[in-house]
Amino acid sequence: MTRRSLAHLFLMPLALLFVAPLVWMALTAFMPDADINTYPPKLWPEHFTLDGFRRIFTEDDYPLWLANTMIVAGAAVLGHVVLCSLAGYGFARIEFRGRGVAFAAVMATIMVPTQVLMIPTFLLFKNMGLIDTLGAAIVPWLASAFGVFLMRQFFLSLPKELEEAAVIDGCSPLGVFFRVVLPLARPALATLVVFTLLGAWNDLIWPLIAISSESGYTLQLGLATFAGARHTEWSALMAGNVVAVLPLVLAFILAQRHFVATMSFSGLKG
């Protein structure tokens, strides 16, 4: 038997095992509750219905939670793209006093786990009047050491000649950055966008702490609460899951060809 057919023999059943729960989740979202609550469970919906989706969008604050999540994730992605690429470029290419110390301070924060920061950040935001506002959910996501590191590594890997040519043509540092460097950084930015989207969209513990009014919930927080209160309405729960998961699955599939390449140059693999 060849190595290739052995690989298929190993990968095929495992791959099906990995996607089966998600496929079933999507199918369940289209089943009426009466069909779901049978034993043994049905694998294929006999009566297709959009009732689960109708329920989540008309009852509860689900549309609000979705909108809150889109705002938080959108702000997180925008913040990361702008702040981390600016900082990554500054650390990679511009020499200035204090650069080493500032970069070391940013990198040092990677070691501090969020659990240590949760309580003081909660108190800090409470003093600033941010608790129970979307701002509390957004601010910690505006930039990250990982993002700065990723962008810096990418800019270090670019040849300097293009930038030097632009400077000779009279381009300002910001002009070089926006017109020359940033358009070249698309693969790194795609990775940054997906990782930030993933983190901000899926975050649970921080919104759980920072947001207490139900109308201010994010999708994940709403889902977790919804699941506890309505645990028998499986079609609505699964519909909620599908809506919560789909944007990220699409983003990942769109950006996936950039991943392995970005992992290589960022030195993430060592």
- Any contact of residue 11 with other proteins (CB under 8 A)? yes
The C-alpha atoms of residue 217 and residue 125 are separated, in whole angstroms, by 17
Residue the block writes with tokens 């599939």: 253
- Residue selected from 54, 186, 254, 256 as contacting other proteins according to rule CB under 8 A: 256
Residue pair 89/103 in contact (Cβ under 8 Å)? The answer is: no
Structure tokens at 127: 């003093």
Nearest approach, Cβ of residue 185 and other proteins (Å): 14
Residue from 34, 108, 128, 156 in contact with other proteins (CB under 8 A): 108
Q: Is 136 exposed, middle or buried (0-12, 13-18, 19+ CB in 10 A)?
A: buried
Binding mask 207-226 for other proteins (x = CB under 8 A): -xx---------xxx-xx--
Is 248 a binding residue for other proteins by CB under 8 A? The answer is yes
3-state secondary structure (DSSP) of residue 65: helix
Q: Which of residues 63-82 bind other proteins (CB under 8 A)?
A: 79
Q: Which is nearer to other proteins, 162 or 263 (CB)?
A: 263
Tokens coding 31: 């089943």
In this chain, which of 73, 77, 106, 192 binds other proteins, going by CB under 8 A?
Answer: 106
Binding-residue pattern over the window 168 to 207 for other proteins, x denoting contact by CB under 8 A? ----xxx--x--------------------x--xx-xx--
Q: Which CB atom, from 30 or from 91, has the smaller least distance to other proteins?
A: 91
128 in contact with other proteins (CB under 8 A): no
CA distances from 198 to 70, 77, 91, 248 (A): 12, 10, 25, 7
CB of 208 to other proteins, least distance (A): 7
Contact between residue 187 and residue 63 where contact means Cβ atoms under 8 Å apart: no
Is 37:233 a contact under the CB 8 Å cutoff? no
Footprint of other proteins on 145-164 (CB under 8 A): 145, 147-148
Residue 269's SS3 state is coil
**Spatial contact of 217 and 72, defined as CB atoms under 8 Å apart:** no
Closest contact distance (angstroms) between CB of 213 and other proteins is 16
